[in-house]
Amino acid sequence: MKILLTGGTGYIGSHTAVELIKAGHEVEILDNLFNSKITVLDDIEAIAGVKPKFYEVDLLDKEGLDAVFAEGQYDLVMHFAGLKAVGESVEKPLKYYENNIGGTVNLLECMKKYGVKKIVFSSSATVYGNQDGVKLSEEMPVGVGITNPYGQTKFMIEQILKDLVVSDPEFEVAILRYFNPVGAHESGLIGEDPNDIPNNLMPIIMKVATGEIPELSIYGDDYDTPDGTGMRDFVHVVDLAKGHVATMGGLRPGVVVYNLGTGKATSVMEMVKMFEAESGKELPYKIVARRAGDLAKIYADPSKAENELGWKAEHTIEDAMRDTIKYLNHVRG
């Protein structure tokens, strides 16, 4: 298939590009490079043997987007593009609503115009809201208790996709709810290295390890967990990428929803200790106040993806740490 990846030079998009190319698909990438680097295209080529065609276009640029679709003749779109810093979304909600929702509407309008009716959407476990300490399954309610505009945009886009299918039943939509992506490609060539101040745990750990950030802030150590720190379902980014390839086999007219996670929760402190063990470096950290809206324990029920797609996370947290360190050494020389 010929596939367009929006946000394809980003963290998850670049790893998915590699897996799609390995699976024999033709990949083209659209990205505004707001939070990624053009050199990722060379790294994808070094790993997969093919350099994807690239369009530097913003989804808010309707004319530029139309030109891409007029030329592309795609079979399917994988939609990764979007702003994703939770804290920034609280400070700048209008920016997030305009970019994430407006950009997606522009994309879907182009898809309709050019008859591209297959889409895999990069959603998030944040849509489950404030359901704490339970294994989250796709049948559970979503949209209640979401604590930030970033999560709201993911929920709203899910609803937009469902409404689109009602209006045009030929659309085949897969919504993938990610838990916490970590790790890097085993080659060490691609990984997570955001241009802005990182929001996720692993890139912050990386910047602390290199001295770019003086110490790691751990938000609360008084949760009802074994060591008091919050627990999350950390899934290796390569497993996540393979989940996208597997999802293509599950597409059918209508909407399907899958969790992509491991089904296990690991604490922030466990992540710190595992990174120290793999790197041989001690990470300076301090315990600070809890963040508003943070939950004690969030983890996936990934059984639906396993039963329907044959997909299951295979990498361990130790694999993620090892690959992250390899990537860290690559980007920092």
Amino acid (1-letter code) at residue 22: K
Q: Tokens for 281?
A: 């470096």
* CA–CA distance, 75 with 232 (Å, rounded to integer): 35
Give me the catalytic one of 128, 150, 178, 299. 150
Task: Quote the CA–CA distance of 300 and 279 in Å, as a whole number.
Answer: 28
In the annotation, is 150 catalytic?
Answer: yes
Q: How many angstroms separate the Cα of 132 from the Cα of each of 114, 224, 296?
A: 42, 11, 7
On whether the CB atoms of residues 181 and 16 are closer than 8 A, the answer is no
Annotate 155-223 with DSSP letters as a single string: HHHHHHHHHHHHH-TT-EEEEEEE-EEE---TTSSS----SS---SHHHHHHHHHTTSSS-EEEE-S-S
Indicate the SS3 state at residue 322: helix
Helix axes 40-48, 11-22, angle to 10 degrees: 30
- In the DSSP assignment, the letter for residue 123 is E
Give catalytic residues, as residue numbers: 150
